């Protein structure tokens, strides 16, 4: 039997208001939240958004600028909407404590996801160490199943490589595993489980490792950012990632946040800037920066010699790799920084829907409205109108595109943020400087 929901999702295209939003994706509401869908339909267009599904409060996802080390041995990396892992020193060894555990992560205000992560975050805190120094990393397992940590790209002894069953027994729930090594090559690396990997990575267990050069003047940089790319399948109206998903993801994140929940990258005019990008999602991401020609200066295999670099505006970040890019911020402005796969700069409601462009939907509002009060046919002229209006959505679900700029709706979601280059920012000041004021006579004019 064809349900009313099925009828809408198959027949009516880009439905939006009330039940439309729920029937919008063929799989989402139909498979996962039938009760909600019916509920939303019954409540009509004025229905207020229901409370978040995930419940509880997620720890703040603020960007925490790590304190500089007392010995001035390196300039800390700023991990957007996350932090670096604190350490202690024990008999000359730098000790870190990671706790693998379930965490609630707010992707953006209005959506909290039931994830797994480290130390109450996904991605886990960035681990910063210095070339050649001995580190000891305690990994406490508070997950409901065993785990390990693999040090991706790092040249560790075989017994420290973290591959469950191959180089070590898995760490059972409640137990702690200890890794210890020294890394000789500075660079950008990652950490993630090599135990029930498909599930544990789909739930968000991953983080970045930065090994700073022993000589702080080597590769000196003014602003150094870290961003981990990830993909998720969190169907509209739900709160737990579908770990069985292989291709059809619907949420695309920088540090497990989506625009407009991702902090900007504030940069002082003239700063030398590095952005370290890691990718443990299931597809590659062509990351594009407006306003600059940058160089890719490193992979997780090490530094690229100057003679082998070339200017770029988009760098493809492959799966299971890191990419460092560098540029001198000599052009003030608000410069978009985003994945160039356009679906990756959108949120869940935009994927997998019938194409209604050019379809005459006149009369449909009235006829379907008889069944679903407040129904509104949309999409005949494109989807921009969706960014202009606030529509009721399934609970714990973000609009497909959101954000407001100085000139109106920004029409973005997912993997999108802004590099804000400003004169006179104090060193170490990472506060959002607001929107750029374009000099008179330098902006587009509407005729």
The contact set with Cu ion (CB under 5 A) reads 285, 339, 341, 344
Nearer to Cu ion, 272 or 341 (CB): 341
CA gap 302, 161 in Å, rounded: 18
Q: Is 387:346 a contact under the CB 8 Å cutoff?
A: no
* Cα separation, 319 vs 329, whole angstroms: 28
Minimum CB distance to Cu ion, residue 316 (Å):
10
| CB of 279 vs Cu ion, minimal distance in Å | 9
CA distances from 427 to 85, 221, 424, 431 (A): 22, 12, 9, 11
CA-closest candidate to residue 378, choices 357, 394, 397: 357
Our CB check for Cu ion shows the closer of 209 and 345 to be 345
Q: In whole angstroms, how close is the CB of 254 to Cu ion at the nearest point? A: 10
Sequence-ordered list of residues with C-beta below 8 angstroms from that of 239, at least 6 positions apart, any chain: 52, 53, 54, 112, 113, 114, 396
> Helix (H, G, I), strand (E, B), or coil: what is residue 368?
helix
CA 127: distance to chain centroid? Answer: 18
Which tokens belong to 284? 């590659």
**Assign residue 165 a region: left if phi > 0, alpha if psi is -120 to 50, beta otherwise?**
left
Q: Please report how close the Cβ of residue 43 comes to Cu ion at its closest, in angstroms.
A: 35
Q: Which is nearer to Cu ion, 391 or 401 (CB)?
A: 401
CB of 341 to Cu ion, least distance (A): 4
Sign of the C-alpha dihedral computed for residues 86, 88, 94 and 95 taken in this order? negative
Task: Give least dist CB 247 to Cu ion, A.
Answer: 13
User: Max Cα separation, the chain?
Assistant: 77
Q: List Cβ neighbours of 376 (8 Å cut-off, separation of 6 or more).
A: 15, 16, 17, 20, 45, 365
Identity of the residue, 139 or 234, whose beta carbon is nearer to Cu ion in the bound complex: 234
CB of residue 390 vs Cu ion: minimum separation in angstroms? 26
Measured from the CB atom, is 143 or 201 closer to Cu ion?
A: 201
- As a whole number of angstroms, the distance between CA 62 and CA 264 comes to 11
Look-up of token digits 């796969």: 341
DSSP classification of residue 150 = E
The residue among 136 and 341 lying less far from Cu ion, judged by its C-beta, is 341
How would you write 257-323 as a 3-class SS string?
ECCCCCCCEEEECCCEEEEEEEECCCCCEEEEECCCCEEEEEECCEECCHHHCCEECEEEECCCEEE
- In order, the DSSP letters of 391-444 are ----TT---SSEEEETTEEEEE-SSEEEEEEETTPPTT--S------PPTT-S-
Nearer to Cu ion, 146 or 249 (CB): 249
Q: Indicate the pairing of strand 93-108 with strand 134-141.
A: parallel
Looking at the Cβ atoms of 223 and 344, the one nearer to Cu ion is 344
- CB distance 113 to 232 below 8 Å: yes
Of the pair 83, 253, the CB lying nearest Cu ion is at 253
Q: Cβ 123 to Cu ion, closest distance in Å?
A: 16
Q: Give min distance, CB of 208 to Cu ion, in A.
A: 18
94 vs 344 by CB, closer to Cu ion: 344
Q: Cβ of residue 209: shortest distance to Cu ion, in angstroms? A: 22
Strand partners, 416: 338
User: Which residue lies nearer to Cu ion by CB, 211 or 251?
Assistant: 251
Cβ 398 to Cu ion shortest distance, Å: 17
């Amino acid at each position: 039997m064809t349900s009313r929901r099925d009828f809408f999702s198959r027949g009516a295209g880009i439905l939006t208001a009330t039940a439309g939003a729920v029937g919008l994706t063929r799989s989402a509401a139909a498979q996962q939240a039938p009760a909600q869908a019916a509920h939303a339909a019954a409540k009509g267009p004025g229905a207020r958004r229901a409370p978040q599904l995930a419940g509880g409060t997620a720890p703040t996802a603020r960007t925490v600028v790590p304190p500089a080390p007392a010995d001035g041995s390196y300039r800390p990396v700023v991990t957007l909407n996350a932090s670096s892992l604190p350490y202690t020193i024990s008999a000359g060894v730098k000790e870190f404590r990671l706790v693998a555990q379930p965490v609630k992560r707010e992707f953006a205000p209005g959506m909290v996801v039931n994830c797994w992560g480290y130390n109450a975050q996904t991605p886990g805190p960035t681990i910063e160490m210095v070339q050649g120094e001995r580190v000891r990393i305690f990994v406490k397992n508070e997950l409901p199943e065993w785990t390990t940590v693999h040090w991706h790209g790092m040249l560790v002894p075989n017994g420290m490589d973290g591959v469950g069953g191959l180089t070590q027994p898995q760490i059972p729930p409640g137990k702690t595993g200890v890794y210890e090594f020294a890394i000789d090559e500075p660079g950008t690396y990652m950490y993630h489980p090599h135990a029930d990997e498909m599930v544990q990575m789909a739930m968000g267990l991953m983080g970045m490792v930065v090994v700073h050069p022993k000589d702080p003047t080597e590769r000196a940089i003014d602003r150094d950012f870290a961003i981990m790319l990830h993909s998720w399948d969190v169907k509209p109206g739900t709160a737990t990632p579908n770990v069985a998903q292989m291709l059809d993801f619907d949420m695309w994140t920088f540090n497990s946040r989506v625009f407009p929940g991702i902090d900007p990258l504030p940069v002082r005019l003239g700063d030398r800037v590095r952005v370290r990008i890691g990718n443990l999602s299931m597809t590659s991401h062509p990351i594009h920066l407006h306003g600059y020609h940058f160089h890719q200066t490193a992979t997780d295999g090490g530094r690229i010699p100057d003679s082998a670099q070339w200017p770029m505006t988009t760098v493809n970040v492959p799966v299971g790799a890191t990419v460092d890019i560098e540029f001198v911020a000599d052009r003030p402005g608000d410069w978009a920084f985003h994945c160039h796969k356009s679906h990756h700069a959108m949120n869940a409601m935009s994927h997998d829907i019938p194409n209604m462009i050019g379809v005459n939907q006149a009369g449909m509002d009235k006829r379907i409205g008889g069944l679903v009060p407040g129904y509104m046919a949309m999409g005949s002229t494109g989807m921009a109108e969706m960014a202009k209006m606030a529509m009721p959505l399934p609970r714990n679900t973000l609009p497909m595109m959101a954000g407001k700029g100085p000139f109106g709706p920004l029409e973005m979601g997912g993997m999108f943020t802004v590099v804000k280059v400003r004169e006179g920012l104090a060193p170490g000041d990472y506060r959002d400087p607001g929107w750029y004021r374009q000099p008179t006579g330098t902006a587009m004019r509407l005729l």
